[in-house]
Amino acid sequence: STIQLTLTTYLVMIGAGQLLFGPLSDRLGRRPVLLGGGLAYVVASMGLALTSSAEVFLGLRILQACGASACLVSTFATVRDIYAGREESNVIYGILGSMLAMVPAVGPLLGALVDMWLGWRAIFAFLGLGMIAASAAAWRFWPETRVQRVAGLQWSQLLLPVKCLNFWLYTLCYAAGMGSFFVFFSIAPGLMMGRQGVSQLGFSLLFATVAIAMVFTARFMGRVIPKWGSPSVLRMGMGCLIAGAVLLAITEIWALQSVLGFIAPMWLVGIGVATAVSVAPNGALRGFDHVAGTVTAVYFC
């Protein structure tokens, strides 16, 4: 039961940790929080690969989640620091957001393969090694982007975006997009492999088509947003989400279930998700550049 608790604890700490590390990144800078989070993640991952104690395992998962949340909030705040007001940010946010959406779907598949070949401990060892490589690259190439630092930790600043209607509009659209995709990869394996008899390899290839649609959509946002404007593009993204959901409902209600009947609407949903995650961060963070780390934490939490 303790081991089963670790996943829930990890997810809770990912969100809660950002509320700590967001303000810290405004106070100390993005680079220290990023590198410190990377170090915590490496220590926790290597410890998880070695421990045999359930209690220690739970504690290390909490530390690992804290490290991950520090890296997450620092990364997105850095993008805001560098690209605030520039159209390139929409492409970068879109690609990062699409990758973030795909990780929970791709991760379990890769983890299952590593577990099958090398055992579960190797999963955490690979995670630690990956973070070592990423942290080494960040140490060498990641400059400090927070030029004007906040004088002290002011936790009241966490409430600043809560009072902003514009923040809520874009954040809820982002949540709708990500939530739709999380529902997809939660039910897709059962529907496609269980009901339709698709093999694991076939499912992976079909899922890859949705991922490709998302990445290509995000890649072209830099051209679309300047022409149509963020509000219009966001409405188009939400329209794709709704259209995909309606098509899925029709295929289910009218018993038209097929592989194409499930995956084709998900292409629309994927396009909508990529559109939302491209536009929403800039819209939600607009006007909060002086506390970008804090507001980024609230946004992703």
Q: In the chain, what is the straight-line distance between the N-terminal and C-terminal CA atoms, in Å?
A: 26
Residues 251 and 161 in one domain: yes
Predicted local distance difference test score (pLDDT) of residue 71: 95
Q: Taking the model in full, what pTM does it have?
A: 0.77
Predicted local distance difference test score (pLDDT) of residue 152: 59
Residues 178 and 203 in one domain: yes
Predicted local distance difference test score (pLDDT) of residue 191: 75
Residues 112 and 183 in one domain: no
The sign one gets for the Cα dihedral 65, 169, 27, 75 is positive
Predicted local distance difference test score (pLDDT) of residue 140: 94
Residue from 101, 68, 34, 81 nearest 278 by CA: 101
Predicted local distance difference test score (pLDDT) of residue 62: 94
Residues 55 and 170 in one domain: no
Q: How far apart are CA 98 and CA 95, in angstroms?
A: 5
Q: Given 135, 152, 169, which residue is the final one in a domain?
A: 152
Predicted local distance difference test score (pLDDT) of residue 21: 92
The count of domains in the chain is 2
Predicted local distance difference test score (pLDDT) of residue 233: 86
CB contact at 8 A, 263 and 209: yes
Predicted local distance difference test score (pLDDT) of residue 209: 83
Q: Given 152, 171, 204, which residue is the final one in a domain?
A: 152
Predicted local distance difference test score (pLDDT) of residue 224: 82
Residues 144 and 11 in one domain: yes
pLDDT of the chain, 301 residues: tens digit per residue: 666 678 778 888 988 898 889 888 888 889 999 999 999 999 999 999 999 898 899 999 999 999 999 999 999 889 888 877 666 777 777 777 777 767 766 777 788 788 888 998 999 999 999 999 999 999 999 999 876 666 555 666 777 788 888 888 888 988 888 888 777 777 777 777 777 787 776 777 787 788 788 878 877 777 787 788 878 888 998 999 999 889 888 887 776 667 777 888 888 988 888 888 888 887 888 877 777 788 888 887 7
Q: How far apart are CA 255 and CA 48, in angstroms?
A: 46
Residues 72 and 181 in one domain: no
CB contact at 8 A, 273 and 178: yes
Q: What is the DSSP string of 219-232?
A: HTHHHHHHHH-HHH
| Range of the structural domain that residue 244 is part of | 154-300
C-alpha distance from residue 252 to each of 38, 162, 193, 248, 255 (Å): 44, 38, 16, 6, 5
Q: Given 118, 152, 186, which residue is the final one in a domain?
A: 152
Predicted local distance difference test score (pLDDT) of residue 11: 80
